[in-house]
Structure 1
Amino acid sequence: MKTIKQTISQLGIALLMLFTITSCMDDAPQIPLGEFEKGVLIMNEGAFGANDGEVYHYDPASGEIKADIFEKKNGRPFAGLIQDMVASEGRLYLVANTGKVEIVDPRDFASIGAVSSGLDISRSLVTANQKVYISDWGPYDANFASPESYIAVVGQLDGGTITDKIPVSSRPEGMYVVGNQLLVACTAAQKMDVISLNTEERSKSLDVKGGPIRFFEAGGNLYLFSRDASKVYFHEINRSNAEIIGTKTVNLAMSTFNFTLTENAEMLIITSTGWPEFNDAIASVNINSGEVLSASIFTGSGLYGIGYDADRREIYVADNNGFQGNGTVIVLDQSGQQQKTLAVGRGPSGFMFK
């Protein structure tokens, strides 16, 4: 039988060992973050014909802006029009609608690989099962329609050769992986296509109101954002069977496809009268009710993209300045009051917050 003295002695040894292990863990070197792993990445689409898309990095703490970070790291220009930035599987994918995808290390923007041939008008991508799936409008026909749209399949995450092209409805944009199914928003066709990732074939195609563009999550639910000239639609999707189970209709005219989510089930949507006036505004909408909370918390001309920094509770608005030279980013507080402006690249259109 152990004595009280033996028990206390053994307890003391155990505590000493625990303290020693904890101290060693505290002394272990911390891996520093990469140069671009914190802050804001600003996607500059570039100008048509010039193909001068690029990415800027902004540090809100110091106020420092670093321009052309792809070119400076890799010693060559991006040479395309950047349509989307997607972070997945420890990589950052830069999708150009000029028919290529560049893959970089998100820590320092060093090139990892690319998909440089076989694409037409690439729009976005997702990864699943160690593959890359790229939405592409396909070639234009004589009437500038897109009857040969597809999802390009690349067999490895670091890019390379396209192994298959899955036909889909006209003009696919955003995608979403749920279970072993790939959901595809097909804008021109006004459909949501569903692709089985087991067979890599389209299993069904559902009609939706408006032209769908992108999927988003809110309150634990999955939605498809869609719009027409007078309304916005939030189509709720059942994740288990990829069916649309309900639609919230928002009475918001002249909405664009540019939106972002904030707190409290709020969505901010850019509206625009279009050419030639370009009287633009940012509307605030409650996702749960579909109510327009405000038609214009901010107004401007040439508003081309929007994002929300949840940590700082700031709204970032991209102004393309009519593509007359470089663009501007306008930083607003939650009420829509301007806080600062940032000089950025040609055609700023999107943001990634880290």
Structure 2
Amino acid sequence: MTEEPSVDQLADYLRGTGWIDTGLMWRGAGIWALDSLEVLLPGSSGVEDFPQRVSELLRTVSRAEGRPADEVRRALRHPAVDEITVRRDSTLTISEGASALQGLRSFIRESARAVSEGPHLRFPKGEPRPVRDLLDAVDLGPGPQDLPGFSLLLDVRGHLGRPSHRAVSLQVRDAARALAETVGNGGASFEDVALQGVSLECCSALARLAGEDDEAFEFSFRWAMRVPGLDRPVADGRVEKIGFAAGSGEGLRTGMRRLSRSGVSGPARAAGMVDGLHDEPGSDDRWRARLSGEVAPAHGARRGRTIWVRFPDQATYERVVRRYDRSRPVRVRGELTSRDGRIELMVDNSGGAS
């Protein structure tokens, strides 16, 4: 027998998904409202017909959200899970399904590496241990109702280091949105999306979701109700959807080829907090810092959140280290480059570090 959710879990879910406590009561139950709908929240789990009241509440909530009551029940009993769903309108063969699921795994992996290592055109081979641990912690949930596809469940309590599950969920969303917009615009700004953590493998991975017939597909994101460190619900009940039209697979593959030829270049500036330092005396890999904040190219509308910055000399690097030690922000400007696959901002002497 499935354990019923508690009154507190029900109240948290209603509050977090936009329902309003009207303050009115009916037979000991509180009346909550959303648009033209109303539900009765029992005042206690001790009432005799509690399971029946919960079932009635869930039926109404599921109607409001357009998904089965069992999915609502699972979400409110697991409030710290981000759910990422990918669906297609057409059926998948078993071979297409295996390829699509592998593509989805690759997309999650590339997003996790972008969070932990900064934007790259190509990441070095292999899966760093923190990324592998995160992938092993992602659960495969029930697919979309009556549609071919997959649901991934990421418990945001699962990893409090880098990369965190919530940061990866958000990166998956941002990368998918950037690629959908770029493909929808004819691929005019593929060079820009790389700053948002979109690697060449991201393009290839999403192309696999389209399948051999290059079908349309869609991402949807339903966010965890609670995140560690926050005492209040953080979701608002809205499901974010990102669609890729039929033919997007070929557009993604074209973008991948174009991005591999052109790389990333041009003037840019960056500002934010340093959260990583790197210096290897005696090698060519010296005087770098990872900056998290905002990266803004001089040309193009896309902006990134993180980037590795390379400094021209020891003195400039040491100024950055001092600002890092004092938790002070850093502002730099220079030229973008994609050295060894990693996207960097090369600061010259005039770009400084203030």
TM-score > 0.5 by shorter chain: no
**More helix, by proportion:** 2
Shorter-chain TM-score range: under 0.3
Bigger relative contact order, structure 1 or 2, given CA contacts below 8 A and separation 6+? Answer: 2
Tell me which protein shows more strand as a share of its residues: 1
